[in-house]
Structure 1
Amino acid sequence: MEFEAIPGVGEKTAAALSELDDAERALREGDVATLTRAPGVSEGRAAAVARGAIRRRHDDDGDFLATDRAREVYEDALGLLRERTVTDYAAKRIATFYPTDSASRIAEVREFVERATDRDPDPDVLDALSGVEPLSPPATRRVRDRCLATADAERFAAAEEAFPELSVEVVEDARGLAELARSYSTVVALDEQFAGIDVEGDVRVRPDAMESPDEIVPERVLAFFAENRSRVLAAAAVHEAADLDPPCDLDALRDALDRLDDDGTIVGDAELDRLVTAVDDLDATVSTAESVANDRLREAIRERDVTIEGTDFLSLVEQGARVDSLLDRELEDEYDDAVAAAREHLVDALDLRPEEADFAERAFPDDPAFPVEHEPSVISRLRTELKAGRDRRAARLKRDLAADLSALRDPVEELVREALELDVELAVARFAADFECTLPSFVDIDGADVTGEASPESHGFAIEGGRSPLLDVDFADVDPVDYRVSGATLLSGVNSGGKTSTLDLVALVVVLAQMGLPVPAERVELERFSELHYYAKTQGTLDAGAFESTLRDFRALADGETNRLVLVDELESITEPGASAKIVAGILEALDEQAATAVFVSHLAGEIREAAGFDVAVDGIEALGLEDGELVVNRSPVKDHLARSTPELIVEKLADDDGSGFYDRLLEKF
């Protein structure tokens, strides 16, 4: 794939993506977790790159959201979905969903939604998801007990890049290998020319080392699983709680992880534990063994009366004899017992095997001496043997476990990826359930069915039982709204009657629908709009410059796509009411000519209708009256109805309560 062909991806990001093993799959599936492994690519950036790749695949220009307010509604929709995610990954992954006029992309997401809404957001599954995170590469750890050796300069450079954990040495012949073998426990020769050379030490000829990195450096795969143990186990728990079919044997996976400590070392092997303990405790155990021997010998001397006749004493002095000779003559048996106790302690405390126990026999001298001291050379050799046995055992166990875990590497990545994607699916499922959503039906402008579902009569949108989750009230308390629009329409109504909320509902429904997601309504039909233009209410009259800029924005609406949705909230506030009515009328005429769908909220609906050069539709959110000073409103706009204003309702209420006729005369003015 040509990464720079993805919208928004430059040379630097393309180079980072090229370092990933499966970048094309990640881009195809919107796998934000994998994309963040690329150097310098943050989660937010990864989501943007994934979105760009999706747009490219569906030939989408990404211009659906044409105004700031339209983009705000989209962000609100994403927020509702993010609130229902558990993992940070899913919260970022949600951003790969976006509104579009691409039929193929909408259909792709709808397939995902149908699968997602079949999921059960069980609390146990959500709880298990809380421990799942994307897999993280561990920091590179230096391995100092082995090295690579080569006589080839190019191979040397390649080995340094492929194995940052190891030292790479240049050698010319067997002598160079032999020298390395004296410094390293294991030497891996990379050149075929060294095959068959007999060198003392652990020297292995592996020309295929580059193709088998986990065999050469098993610590690499062990470190990966040690770093990600909790994530992997949490993903396994998610699969079990959700009754998903895992990509590997979870019992075998847990068994392998049980053999690995958090720092990447092997655990659970009794023989390795014995050797590690023996090496660590050797010096202390030898010191204790000496104490055992000397304590016994002291006790024997205290309890024994030793008599030396004068001639014997003279003889010993003349011979230059030391106390050793006296011990040999008088306490031979006691000395032997003391040394035997020291040797036994050494064997028992270190749990030495028979072949190792021979060192214990030679660790203390047979010739009597006081105090009893160990033979340093013997203990040094014992230490060397124990370390060698420990390292051989650990290396073999590392290779065996690394081989088991290497086979699980790809399945484990899939295991975690599926768990994270499940969180995305459950967020959509929870969104659909919380807001009683349904999948909308799409139609083309000419009424042709594009989704295999029923189509409305022409174009525009039709919402039945729509309820906005963006309102600042409990969703259960939101009044349902029915609203159908085809062509350019004015929406009238009393203040605080719900006109802006209706526009927000329409915008949210269209945004969600064209994201491919379910919408908060009982039933929705709409055409695939090419763009959404939503203009929020302007605060106060604009100055000349801002007024001109606003008119330029609406001038652009007269050109280009013919099936845009335009939502405008009280445009008349940009200038004087008389001029505003004429301007809005002119804009509506242009939109009508290009067969756009438009809803303009206005308190000047009557004036605009009179100024328009066509029969503009006027709908009204009807106030049913005042009750205890509060408006009682039918939230669903009434078709072809100019709604009464709040002042008219107040005057009408006063006229009912007053017989003077004053309020009746005022009422006639409306």
Structure 2
Amino acid sequence: MELESVPGVGAKTAEALRELDDPERALSEGDVAALSRAPGISEGRAAHIARGAIRAEHDDPGGFAATPRTRELYEAALSLLQERTVTDYGAKRLETLYPSGVRSRIDEVRAFTERALEREPTPAVCEALSGVEPLVEPGDVRVRDRCLATGDAETYAAAQSAIPEVSVELVDDARQLAELARSYATVVVLDEAFAGVDVEGDVRVEPDALEEPASVVPERVLTFFARNRDAVRAAVAVHREADLEAPCDLDALASALDQLDEDGSVRGDEELDRLTTAVDDLDAAVSAAESVANDHLRAAIEERDVTIEGTDLLSLVERGAGVDSLLDRELADEYAAAVDRARDHLVDALQLRDTEAMARRAFPDEPTYPVEHEERVVSRLREELTATRDRRATQRKRAIADELASVRGAAQALVDAALELDVELAVARFAADFEATLPELTDEPGFDIEGGRSPLLDVPFEDVEPVDYRVDGVTVLSGVNSGGKTSTLDLVALVTILAHMGLPVPAESARVGRISELHYHAKTQGTLDAGAFETTLRDFGELVTDVTADRPVLVLVDELESITEPGAAATIIAGILESLTEREAAGVFVSHLAEDIVEAADADLSVDGIQAEGLVDGELRVNRSPVKGELARSTPELIVEKLAEDGDGFYAGLLEKFE
């Protein structure tokens, strides 16, 4: 599929889509999750692009929702579905579902719907879905403890492009390489020519490093999983609760994720924890060791029986008068013991191992008071511990990154599958909430709805009265005021829209004739002026003219007579109905002028009626299902009939006028 051939995809969008691994597949499958991973493309924009790609794939000209009222009902149907999603992604993904007159597209969605209706939206699955969201690609990873080195300009440019997270340095010889090794914990050399060069520090010659960026920058993989850890964990929970087939070992993935902190650092390694603690606590441990030594030495001085009183000696010592010679002469053994205690405390507090000998040199053998550490030695100890910690961290990062890198695609598939499940479950919940079933879709004009109930009415769905209605061609629908004529039209339109979306319809059963366009003209408020009236007639003229066997339509019109005088309206409606009948179209025209329309028509027109059954306590009782071939009785006739039952001759005479 040529990217720029998709409606809504220009050069800039096509360039962004080419950043994806397989944009053609994502477009052909309407994969909103994949499309939204392209730079600068939101989920809403991805849904719009996917819809255009789907239309292109099925050669769908669009235009099914031919009137504002049809579009309103489509949006209402879509909202009912979106309200039943758990994730924001699911709501956006549902926007790729639209009514179409193309059979291949309808069948494609019907296959999806059949799978969806087998799903069970349990509370546990919905709870797990609440934590799932599309994975994000972190763009702020920066690593400063290592660098890449090369002596080749082309390799230098390639390295900057392939691994932008680390610095890339140009080097000419071993001396420059040694300088880098003193500045970075790890130097990765990209040139084979440096193999065998003996340089102090962690210097590695890896000519293939650019082919495996994760080996140089494991943080790339780790940060990705750290940022998306909650979403992946939620997707794992969804797969377990919904018993979905997983693309990887869920336990192994969960275990690997447990080794990551939120910032992408690794955890669960005792040696790394020890080194990290040693670096963090070094200054405090040195200070505490000094206190241990000085406390011991102070106590020894105070208790020592020398030529001068201990308190006098303390006074001299604190003024710095001959302290070295006094300590060396009188307290050499006590000083040595104090320093040993300081050294032991430092080693034990930091749990030092390989650097124990260096740490012991932090306190000199030469007697001083107070005992003080050797800053130069402590600085070297800090450098050694930091370097060892960083090397250990890098080793652990590489190990975990290698493990996670191998399942990155699987993790993406896990999340995508969970998000798609949310879409399926929304359809399943819609069908369950509104007792909806998949309709039969035929190539015959008209519809047959049994037990249809509209979820768009302002009453609880369980209180909606079911409607049976069948139309095979063109008919006039009559009925009393507030008898449900408009809501019946809305039900017919909603069932038709959902059927052409490939979705279940709110009815016990339904047969829907496939159409290219749905023209639903809502009731006009007030009589139109001459210009608007002419425009309306032109619209109907074009509609009638364009109807062909290859372009079937369903026309729903609510009280067209409101646009002009009743007499003229009846004639106009009769003419429109005659033309639609000649073209074997399907349509329902709601009108209070049913008798006048039939009289004005040259062809036999069908008239259906929503029949009022009478008045009970002043309230109109109505059979909501239209009766085929029967003109509905008017509300005034019912009222006159009720009054005539009282025996008044005047009302009996009036009643005869209705016959």
TM-score (norm 2): 0.95
Q: How far apart, CA to CA, are the structure 2 residues paired with 1:296 and 1:163? A: 55
Report the CA distance shift for 1:173/1:62 in structure 2 as closer, same or farther (over 3 A). Answer: farther
Shift in Å at residue 109 of structure 1? 1.1
- Equivalence for 1:644: 633
Shift in Å at residue 113 of structure 1? 1.1
Q: How far apart, CA to CA, are the structure 1 residues paired with 2:39 and 2:643? A: 72
Q: How does 1:346-425 map to 2 (within 5 A)?
A: 346-353=346-353, 355-425=354-424
- 1:198-229 deviation digits (Å, cap 9, x = unpaired): 43333333333332111111001100111011
Compare 619-628 and 551-560 and name the one that shifted more.
551-560
Q: How far apart, CA to CA, are the structure 2 residues paired with 1:255 and 1:520? A: 45
Q: How far apart, CA to CA, are the structure 2 residues paired with 1:189 and 1:405? A: 25
* SS of the residue 2:406 aligns to: helix
Q: How far apart, CA to CA, are the structure 2 residues paired with 1:621 and 1:293? A: 103
Shift in Å at residue 192 of structure 1? 4.1
Q: Which amino acid aligns with 1:408?
A: V
- Equivalence for 2:480: 494
Q: Which amino acid aligns with 2:294?
A: N
Shift in Å at residue 662 of structure 1? 4.1
Shift in Å at residue 139 of structure 1? 3.5
- 1:464-510 deviation digits (Å, cap 9, x = unpaired): 11111111111111111111111111111111111111110110101
- Equivalence for 2:594: 605
Q: How far apart, CA to CA, are the structure 2 residues paired with 1:154 and 1:533? A: 64
- 1:253-302 deviation digits (Å, cap 9, x = unpaired): 11111111001111111110110111111111111111111111111111
Compare 109-118 and 141-150 and name the one that shifted more.
141-150
Report the CA distance shift for 1:43/1:374 in structure 2 as closer, same or farther (over 3 A). Answer: same
- Equivalence for 2:576: 587
Contact 1:491 1:621 in 2 (8 A): yes
Contact 1:363 1:374 in 2 (8 A): yes
Contact 1:652 1:667 in 2 (8 A): no
Q: Which amino acid aligns with 1:367?
A: E
Q: How far apart, CA to CA, are the structure 1 residues paired with 2:651 and 2:288? A: 115
Contact 1:541 1:573 in 2 (8 A): yes
Q: How far apart, CA to CA, are the structure 1 residues paired with 2:88 and 2:413? A: 18
Shift in Å at residue 669 of structure 1? 4.3
Please tell me whether residue 518 in structure 1 is matched to residue 504 in structure 2: yes
* Alignment coverage as a number of residue pairs: 648
1:632 to 600, 618, 621: 621
- Equivalence for 1:477: 463
Shift in Å at residue 158 of structure 1? 3.2
* SS of the residue 2:620 aligns to: strand
Q: How far apart, CA to CA, are the structure 1 residues paired with 2:435 and 2:603? A: 39
Q: How far apart, CA to CA, are the structure 1 residues paired with 2:573 and 2:228? A: 61
Report the CA distance shift for 1:665/1:373 in structure 2 as closer, same or farther (over 3 A). Answer: closer
Q: How far apart, CA to CA, are the structure 2 residues paired with 1:218 and 1:58? A: 43
* SS of the residue 2:478 aligns to: strand
Please tell me whether residue 571 in structure 1 is matched to residue 560 in structure 2: yes
Q: How far apart, CA to CA, are the structure 2 residues paired with 1:662 and 1:465? A: 38
Q: How far apart, CA to CA, are the structure 2 residues paired with 1:139 and 1:269? A: 27
Q: Which amino acid aligns with 2:546?
A: G
Please tell me whether residue 596 in structure 1 is matched to residue 585 in structure 2: yes
Q: How far apart, CA to CA, are the structure 2 residues paired with 1:169 and 1:444? A: 70
Shift in Å at residue 417 of structure 1? 1.0
Please tell me whether residue 324 in structure 1 is matched to residue 327 in structure 2: no
* SS of the residue 1:517 aligns to: coil
Contact 1:442 1:526 in 2 (8 A): yes
Shift in Å at residue 159 of structure 1? 2.5
2:449 to 463, 470, 488: 463
Q: Which amino acid aligns with 2:511?
A: E
* SS of the residue 2:361 aligns to: helix
- 1:309-336 deviation digits (Å, cap 9, x = unpaired): 9xxx9xx9xxx99221221121122111
* SS of the residue 1:661 aligns to: helix
- Equivalence for 1:169: 169
Shift in Å at residue 153 of structure 1? 3.5
- Equivalence for 1:536: 522
Contact 1:214 1:403 in 2 (8 A): yes
Contact 1:278 1:351 in 2 (8 A): yes
Report the CA distance shift for 1:173/1:328 in structure 2 as closer, same or farther (over 3 A). Answer: closer
Q: How far apart, CA to CA, are the structure 2 residues paired with 1:25 and 1:541? A: 52
* SS of the residue 2:454 aligns to: coil
Q: How far apart, CA to CA, are the structure 1 residues paired with 2:52 and 2:151? A: 47
Report the CA distance shift for 1:556/1:158 in structure 2 as closer, same or farther (over 3 A). Answer: farther
Shift in Å at residue 547 of structure 1? 1.0
Report the CA distance shift for 1:321/1:443 in structure 2 as closer, same or farther (over 3 A). Answer: closer
Q: How does 1:421-440 map to 2 (within 5 A)?
A: 421-440=420-439
- Equivalence for 1:660: 649
Q: Which amino acid aligns with 1:558?
A: V
Contact 2:279 2:386 in 1 (8 A): yes
Q: How far apart, CA to CA, are the structure 1 residues paired with 2:149 and 2:131? A: 43
Contact 1:648 1:667 in 2 (8 A): no
Contact 2:30 2:96 in 1 (8 A): yes
Q: Which amino acid aligns with 1:395?
A: T
Q: Which amino acid aligns with 2:492?
A: V
Shift in Å at residue 193 of structure 1? 4.0
Matched-pair identity in %? 69
Contact 1:557 1:591 in 2 (8 A): no
Contact 1:116 1:429 in 2 (8 A): yes
Contact 2:611 2:633 in 1 (8 A): yes
Q: How far apart, CA to CA, are the structure 2 residues paired with 1:541 and 1:210? A: 75
Q: How does 1:310-321 map to 2 (within 5 A)?
A: none
Contact 1:47 1:92 in 2 (8 A): yes
Q: How far apart, CA to CA, are the structure 1 residues paired with 2:451 and 2:608? A: 17
Please tell me whether residue 105 in structure 1 is matched to residue 105 in structure 2: yes
Q: Which amino acid aligns with 1:479?
A: E
Report the CA distance shift for 1:298/1:469 in structure 2 as closer, same or farther (over 3 A). Answer: same
- Equivalence for 1:213: 213
- Equivalence for 1:13: 13
Q: How far apart, CA to CA, are the structure 1 residues paired with 2:651 and 2:414? A: 78
- Equivalence for 2:265: 265
Contact 2:527 2:563 in 1 (8 A): yes
Report the CA distance shift for 1:196/1:591 in structure 2 as closer, same or farther (over 3 A). Answer: farther
- 1:624-665 deviation digits (Å, cap 9, x = unpaired): 111111111111111111111111111211222242334523
Q: Which amino acid aligns with 1:567?
A: L
- Equivalence for 1:443: 442
* SS of the residue 2:545 aligns to: coil
Report the CA distance shift for 1:466/1:41 in structure 2 as closer, same or farther (over 3 A). Answer: same
Structure 2 alignment gaps of length 5 or more = none
Shift in Å at residue 667 of structure 1? 4.1
- 1:500-547 deviation digits (Å, cap 9, x = unpaired): 111101101011111111111111112211111111110010111211
Q: Which amino acid aligns with 2:190?
A: L
- 1:74-111 deviation digits (Å, cap 9, x = unpaired): 11111111111111111111111111111111111111
Report the CA distance shift for 1:17/1:588 in structure 2 as closer, same or farther (over 3 A). Answer: same
Q: Which amino acid aligns with 2:51?
A: R
Compare 237-246 and 653-662 and name the one that shifted more.
653-662
Shift in Å at residue 306 of structure 1? 1.4
Q: Which structure 1 residue ranges, 4+ long, deviate > 6 Å from structure 2?
A: none
Report the CA distance shift for 1:200/1:514 in structure 2 as closer, same or farther (over 3 A). Answer: same
Structure 1 alignment gaps of length 5 or more = 446-458
TM-score (norm 1): 0.93
Compare 659-668 and 73-82 and name the one that shifted more.
659-668
Shift in Å at residue 308 of structure 1? 6.1
Report the CA distance shift for 1:196/1:550 in structure 2 as closer, same or farther (over 3 A). Answer: farther
- 1:116-157 deviation digits (Å, cap 9, x = unpaired): 111111111111111111112223121111122333444333
Q: How does 1:84-95 map to 2 (within 5 A)?
A: 84-95=84-95
Q: How far apart, CA to CA, are the structure 2 residues paired with 1:552 and 1:153? A: 71
Q: Which amino acid aligns with 1:517?
A: L
Compare 123-132 and 186-195 and name the one that shifted more.
186-195
Q: How does 1:67-216 map to 2 (within 5 A)?
A: 67-216=67-216
Q: Which amino acid aligns with 1:95?
A: E
Q: Which amino acid aligns with 1:371?
A: P
